[in-house]
Structure 1
Amino acid sequence: MTAAAERTHDAETAPQDAPADVLAVAREQVLERGVGLSEEQVLAVLHLGDDRLDDLLALAHEVRMKWCGPEVEVEGIVSLKTGGCPEDCHFCSQSGRFPSPVRSAWLDIPGLVEAARQTAATGATEFCIVAAVRGPDARLLSQVREGIKAIRESGNDIQIACSLGMLTQEQVDELVGMGVHRYNHNLETARSHFPEVVTTHSWEERWDTLRMVREAGMEVCSGGILGMGETVEQRAEFAVQLAELDPHEVPMNFLIPQPGTPYEQYEPISGREALRLVAAFRLALPRTMLRFAGGRELTLGDLGAEKGMLGGVNAIIVGNYLTNLGRPAQQDLDMLTDLKMPIKALSDTL
């Protein structure tokens, strides 16, 4: 029986007369058996009150430790091509369709090599090259190819990931040939909510790219942004859709309202709600790398990233996020030391 079938079976066979406590169910189903929660069960977790939050975070941490271990993967990202994107993702200041302050720019090869060097110097094992495009053209792929070659020739053996939009099969094969081991392409939100967020391409197009990436042997990285007007039901839907994709990694971003975008007036979700979401996604994805990404500083505030690291997260982006500043990388590294969470060694990612 597949994991998805087990989730469905567990939900269908639960007693109907008096609903069991969802955390007790999760302890047996997720912690003991490693079977992620169903959509209905994730929704029940998201409806838990603040008085249950500490118990929820503790259980999510137990699940992370049992099925993923104590190591944390640290990653740095850099924008090779910034701004001027033709797509209309309503959250993104890099869209050329909105009057945002971000303008189109390219990073040269020496700049890319230096960014990789600085990332490796933090102890990170992953370096992701990102471009604001619908999909890569010949110029962009050439720049990526030359950049990777220069990084290797500099003596840097850090793992290289890419996030270059939607791909064709030929482009997938090219990236494999360049030595790219992981590809990021976020589904962004639940399938039912996606048309409210993006109109210039479909959720299915993104899914197709991820399918080709997996079939080509690259690791799949796909997550999204929470706080874009989705309902709590759609958050549960999204968690389970990601579980069906079974990605190697899920980056969890929280909306940073960007000036000039359609979402500039949105209020960030609360820190407690963000932590509830982190824990719920861990219980839906017990074996998946769950990465703190953009918006955590704004959203968590005084609660601090430590709460999330003790609530199911086992990967983190250090430094800045494309068009937004993060906190200093050393601050995150010191946090991991204080929490006695070792950084995953490069040899463990090969």
Structure 2
Amino acid sequence: MNWKSISDRLLDGGSITEEEALAVLESPDEELLEVVQAAYRIRKKYFGKSVAIHLLQNVKSGKCPEDCTFCSQSTRALNDVERYDMQTVEKIVEGAQAAVDRNAKRYCMVASTRAPNPNELETICTATIQIKQKHPHLEICSSLGLLTEEKALKLKEAGVNRFNHNLETSRNFFPEVVTTHDFEERINTARIAKQVGLDLCCGGLYGMGESLQDRVDLAFALADLDVDSVPVNFLDPRPGTPFHGKPNPLTPNDALRALCMMRFVNPTAELRVAGGREKTLRGLQSLALYPANSIFTSGYLTTGGQDYETDKQIIEDAGFQIEMQA
């Protein structure tokens, strides 16, 4: 496969076929750097050498009634994850300062829930208004489960810039991961977010036992939604979940191939290396910045991660720079 010719086509406004995307995931290790270079050419055109940093705040923990098999915050998971209701406005606003202190472009408020109730939605909206007053250049992302158009409009009116709602996996593999809601419900929420004018952050999780074709199908489903941002997570099996104790099937090279494939399929989207980055990529984290242009720093929802100073050093050592707030 001529990887440069694929990037040439994409740089000229063309697209990649499903067969070519699958070939990226099946490519041999000796061609990996060629694949990475081809993906970097596209990343460089749209994002230069900048890396956008995001900081997560778990605003409601361990209270989700859904049965997502990978999630330690499901009420069906048997673990000691901290469980609490929606945080106060004050605590959520306080968390935004940590994002500012780490030069984060976005502050992401995430709640473990099927859908926000009226009081929870009001808390998020009030917190967003106050954060925007204190930090007008900090972008706000919220992840609150399933949305109606009315709820999405309230978030938009309050100043939320982006809504996260991951598809997680392909339509075909989805029933193996979640049974308490279906793939179409996720698609519907993603479309509602776009319809009301919110940026759509929508990605998935690799390493759950899905096929290579499932990974490709997810990438094309995201392209069909015209997503603005794609977080790519790699399974880090959590205690109390069905995946705990199972080895992660992904090698660092597999993860890099997956990121490159996602860049080829969604060339203009912000591509973020998300949960599982440190454990899956290990010593190859800096190479992930060639297809991807964004990371989470200072941990995830129920798991720790690298501190900001370490991430900053990786970014700078690789010759990239942190994208500052506008």
The reply to whether TM is greater than 0.5 is yes
Counterparts of residues 83-162 of structure 1 (less than 5 Å): 83-106=62-85, 107-155=87-135, 157-162=137-142
What is the 5 A alignment of 1:175-190? Answer: 175-190=155-170
Q: Is the 8 A contact 1:80 1:130 kept in 2?
A: yes
Alignment partner, residue 289 of structure 2: 309
Determine whether 1:283 maps to 2:267: no
Contact 1:34 1:287 in 2 (8 A): no
2:272, 2:233 → 1: CA distance?
9
**2:180 aligned with 1:200:** yes
Verify the 8 A CA contact 2:7 2:39 in the aligned structure 1.
no
Residue in structure 2 matching 1:320, options 282, 299, 303: 299
Residue 180 and residue 28 in structure 1: after superposition, are their counterparts in 2 closer, same or farther (change >3 A)?
A: same
For 1:254, give the aligned amino acid.
F
SS at match of 1:327: coil
SS of the aligned residue for 2:19 comes to helix
1:172-197: CA deviation from partner (whole Å, max 9, x where unpaired): 11111111010000000011100110
Q: CA 1:313–1:138 in 2, change beyond 3 Å: closer, same or farther?
A: same
For the residue of structure 1 that corresponds to 2:305, the secondary structure is coil
For residues 151 and 24 of structure 1, the distance between their equivalents in structure 2, rounded to whole angstroms, comes to: 44
Q: Does 1:235 align with 2:219?
A: no
State the partner residue of 2:312.
333
- Cα distance between partner residues in 1 of 2:119 and 2:147: 14
The answer to whether 1:36 aligns with 2:15 is yes
65-74 vs 244-253, which moves further: 65-74
Displacement, 1:92? 0.1
Contact 1:36/1:285, CA 8 A, preserved across alignment: no
The answer (yes or no) to whether the contact 2:223–2:266 under 8 Å persists in 1 is: yes
Residue 299 (str. 1) matches residue 288 (str. 2): no
What secondary structure sits across from 1:336 in the alignment?
helix
Give secondary structure in 2 for the equivalent of 1:308.
helix
Q: CA separation in 1, counterparts of 2:294 and 2:148?
A: 29
- The alpha carbon displacement at 1:290 in A equals 0.3
Q: 2:251 aligns with which of 270, 275, 296?
A: 270
User: How far did residue 335 of structure 1 move?
Assistant: 2.0
Match of residue 345 from structure 1: 324
Identical pairs, percent:
36
Look up the SS of the partner of 2:53 in the other structure: strand
Residues 129 and 163 in structure 1, CA contact (< 8 A), matched pair in contact too: yes
| Helix, strand or coil at the partner of 1:200 | coil
The DSSP-based 3-state class of the residue aligned with 1:118 is: helix
Query: What secondary structure, in the 3-state scheme, does the structure 2 residue paired with 1:183 have?
Result: strand
Cα distance in 2 for partners of 1:240, 1:215 equals 20
User: Structure 2 CA distance, aligned partners of 1:330 and 1:254?
Assistant: 22
Cα distance in 2 for partners of 1:71, 1:27 equals 20
Within the alignment, does 1:59 sit opposite 2:38 as a pair? yes
Return the match for 1:76 from 44, 55, 64: 55
Q: CA deviation at 1:100?
A: 2.3
**2:4–2:38 Cα contact (<8 Å) kept:** no
In the aligned structure 2, how far is the partner of 1:199 from the partner of 1:292?
27
Q: Please report the RMSD computed on the Cα atoms of aligned residues, expressed in angstroms.
A: 1.5
| Structure 1 CA distance for aligned equivalents of residues 162 and 143 of structure 2 | 9
Offset, 1:334: 2.1
Q: Which structure 1 residue ranges, 4+ long, deviate > 6 Å from structure 2? A: none
- 1:156 positional shift: 5.6
Aligned residues: 324
1:213 paired to 2:180: no
* CA deviation map 1:276-298 (0-9, x unaligned): 11111111111111001100101
Shift of 1:245: 1.4
Q: What residue ranges of structure 1 are gaps of 5+ in the alignment?
A: 1-20
Deviations 1:197-220 (A, max 9, x none): 000001110111111111111101
